[in-house]
């Protein structure tokens, strides 16, 4: 499998980003219309930066970091590509970039009891509590 990470997601990647987001098994949006193409565009170009993972020129994963809130806004990989290091490669690229921008602490939240929870713990994140919506809040310091 040939994986190529693009430094910055392009506006033309938004339909594929939405397709990946809506194809995941965990942390699925109950209403996919809650995250619009305009939301993705805003987080990619106004609030932060995003990356896509390509396999044979197809987007199979993406990550978006939000500098405004020092938050991991999204990190998703198509289910059939999980377990191949794609999520970790996207994660590491995004986290390094966020710290390179001067942040000393970043956070995210995810559902408890998921593979994502295990992924973030293995990647060095520290659990800091539960959000009002019942998600686990994680934090990582530089």
Please state, in angstroms and rounded to a whole number, the distance separating the CA atoms of residues 132 and 135. 7
DSSP letter assigned to residue 69? T
- In degrees, rounded to 5, the angle at the alpha carbon of residue 102 between the alpha carbons of residues 87 and 42 is 60
Residue 27: per-residue pLDDT: 67
pTM equals 0.92
Question: What domains are defined for the chain?
Answer: 3-141 (3.40.630.30)
Please state, in angstroms and rounded to a whole number, the distance separating the CA atoms of residues 72 and 8. 15
Which range among 21-30, 31-40, 73-82 shows the weakest confidence by mean pLDDT? 21-30
3-state secondary structure of 59: strand
Which range among 23-27, 59-63, 133-137 shows the weakest confidence by mean pLDDT? 23-27
Residue 40: per-residue pLDDT: 97
């Amino acid at each position: 499998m040939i994986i190529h990470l693009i430094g910055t997601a392009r506006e033309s990647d938004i339909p594929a980003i939405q397709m990946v987001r809506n194809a995941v098994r965990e942390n699925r949006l109950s209403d996919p219309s809650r995250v619009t193409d305009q939301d993705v565009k805003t987080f990619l170009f106004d609030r932060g930066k995003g990356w896509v993972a390509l396999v044979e020129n197809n987007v199979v994963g993406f990550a978006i970091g939000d500098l405004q809130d020092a938050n991991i806004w999204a990190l998703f990989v198509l289910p059939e590509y999980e377990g191949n290091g794609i999520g970790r490669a996207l994660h590491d690229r995004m986290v390094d970039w966020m710290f390179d921008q001067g942040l000393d602490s970043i956070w995210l939240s995810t559902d408890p009891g998921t593979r994502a929870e295990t992924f973030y713990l293995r990647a060095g994140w520290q659990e800091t509590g539960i959000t009002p919506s019942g998600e686990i809040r994680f934090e990582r310091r530089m």
